[in-house]
Amino acid sequence: MRELLMLPIIVGCAYAVLSYSSWNSTAHDIPGDPEFFSDSLEKADFIEVGEDLTYEVSWWFVKLGTIRTKVLSQQGDGGDKHYSAVVFIDSYSGLPFVDLHAIFETTMDKDCFSQSFTAWEKEGEHWRILRYDFDRQKGSLLMEKGIVDSAYKTDAQMEHVDTLQIQSKTQDGLSLLYFARANVKSGKPIAVPTMVGGSRGTTYLNFYNKRTSVDIAAVKYPIDVIEFGGTAEFTGIFGLTGPFKGWFSNDTAQIPIRAKMNVILGTIDIELKQWNRDGWNPPKYVKQ
């Protein structure tokens, strides 16, 4: 299943086309929890229910498609607070080498760690479905893969059911985006175990807290952003792998503004095109 992973982490990271091309579970050694995970990570105070962001993905001058993220709900409070979010990934029609339509939905705790994840990807007349249910206390994950007639259906004909041993801090491709937003100003590197297309991988995030500016077509002024980098230790769609760079807004919303990632064709660019968040506009950069 093509879990467009970095396209949800960078949209600045999450949005580059977060995908992993294999539906086959691959066994990997499970690295120990990074020492810094014992530190106090940032909370998800930036999350706002109803936030709706659309990004355009391009390669050189070719527009490939859009990625749209939306925060659906918040439930509970205090330590029991959790959020649900969704991403819609659609290539433009008429492209000779891309035909991709996928939906990812995640449920996260207050620290933006995944609790469950469902992905639907269109394949001909049907949709592939991939589900994760995390059991943090047991350090395990129930994974199911199957086929359904349409997106959002869950009564799948399951082809594969498996229980995997994982690290307690493992993320899915979409929760990883919100985790990056929460920690972009932390000023420290973080290695994040990541489930990608049914296989275990690692995403290395380097939050070096560099303030700078970027330009996008949707805004007529330079945007005040925080830059960070990272490395995807897996191979995704179109050869997506290796280093990436992202820029999130330098404000309390910490919204992904732009991302650049390397694929087999060259560099893919992801940039914010439309947004709907109460009272928010991209912050203008003022040199100090």
Kindly report, residue by residue over 48-62, the tens digit of the pLDDT. Answer: 999 999 999 998 889
pLDDT tens-place string over residues 239-285 = 556 788 999 999 999 999 999 887 766 788 999 999 999 999 999 99
Structural domain of 252: 6-21+45-75+86-108+169-272
| CATH code of the domain in which 189 resides | 2.40.360
How many structural domains are present in the chain?
A: 1
Rounded Cα distance, 12 and 63, in Å: 17
pLDDT tens-place string over residues 10-19 = 443 333 333 3
Residue 30 in domain:
no
Phi/psi at 176 (nearest 5 deg)? -60, -35
pLDDT of residue 267: 81
DSSP string covering 87-136, please?
EEEEEPTT-SS---EEEEEEEEETT--EEEEEEEEEETTEEEEEEEEEET
Rounded Cα distance, 275 and 216, in Å: 13
Q: Structure pTM?
A: 0.85
Residue 147 in domain:
no
Residue type, 273: K
Residue 32 in domain:
no
pLDDT of residue 41: 53
Cβ-Cβ contacts under 8 Å for 6 (sequence gap 6 or more): 13, 14, 15, 16, 17, 18, 173, 203, 232, 236, 240, 244, 259, 261
Residue 154 in domain:
no
Rounded Cα distance, 207 and 249, in Å: 14
- Closest C-alpha to 106, from 14, 21, 204: 14
DSSP class of 252: S
Residue 152 in domain:
no
pLDDT of residue 37 exceeding 80, the answer is no
Q: What is the mean pLDDT of residues 184-199?
A: 87
pLDDT tens-place string over residues 201-211 = 888 999 999 99
Q: What percent of the chain has pLDDT over 90?
A: 51
Rounded Cα distance, 14 and 260, in Å: 10
Residue 229 in domain:
yes
- Closest C-alpha to 250, from 284, 219, 208, 200: 284
